[in-house]
A = this chain, B = another copy of it.
Amino acid sequence: MSATETTNQTTTNEAFNSLFVQELARQIRAQDSYGFYRNWADELVIKPYIVSKEAKRKISVEGDVDPVTKGRILSFYRAIAARIEQETGLLSQVVIDLSHEGFGWVLVFSGRLLLVARTLRDAQRFGFDSLEKLTAEADKLVEKAIDLAQRYPEVGKL
């Protein structure tokens, strides 16, 4: 194993141990009514979130976002909401408004405060280059939300 490979391995392990990735696996398992993922490792459960640039290009952005991808987007933002709750105590709602063209909004809110507000584009291709990018993106969203919740606690509790 080369030095580079060792480093990558370490980074991936760290990403796997992140609180967000654990929460994401938990959210996916919570939707798993038939116990399909019961014997799967977290690594496998989360795998569909890693979509390479090449793989993305092959996914058509014509027509509706399929229900499986929609479910994947919802679990991702529910995990964000759960992490926010763990850090701030604020219970929040996730709302996703997707048009038929894969364009739309994702909102996470508590009281009258929008903790996350993002537009989605080409949602048919939802995914991340690598697990590191996924955790980096999630951590950024969670940090921003915590900051907002701390700056406007009153609005978050309305």
Q: Enumerate chain A interface residues (CB-CB to B < 8 A).
A: 93, 95-97, 105, 107, 109, 111-115, 117, 148, 152, 155, 158
Chain B residues positioned under 8 Å from A113 (CB to CB):
112-114, 155
Per a CB cutoff under 8 Å, which of B105, B107, B152 touches A155?
A: B152
Per a CB cutoff under 8 Å, which of B97, B105, B109, B117 touches A117?
A: B109
Q: Is the CB of A105 within 8 A of B95?
A: yes
In the bound assembly, the distance between CA atoms of A158 and B147 in angstroms comes to: 13
In the bound assembly, the distance between CA atoms of A107 and B106 in angstroms comes to: 11
- Quickly give the copy total for this chain: 2
In the bound assembly, the distance between CA atoms of A18 and B131 in angstroms comes to: 54
Top 5 nearest A-B pairs (CB, nearest first) are A112-B114, A95-B97, A95-B105, A97-B97, A152-B155
Q: A97-B97, A112-B152, A113-B113 are in contact. List 19 more A-B contacts (CB 8 A).
A: A93-B105, A95-B95, A95-B97, A95-B107, A96-B97, A107-B107, A107-B109, A109-B117, A111-B114, A112-B114, A112-B115, A112-B148, A113-B114, A113-B155, A114-B114, A148-B158, A152-B152, A152-B155, A155-B155
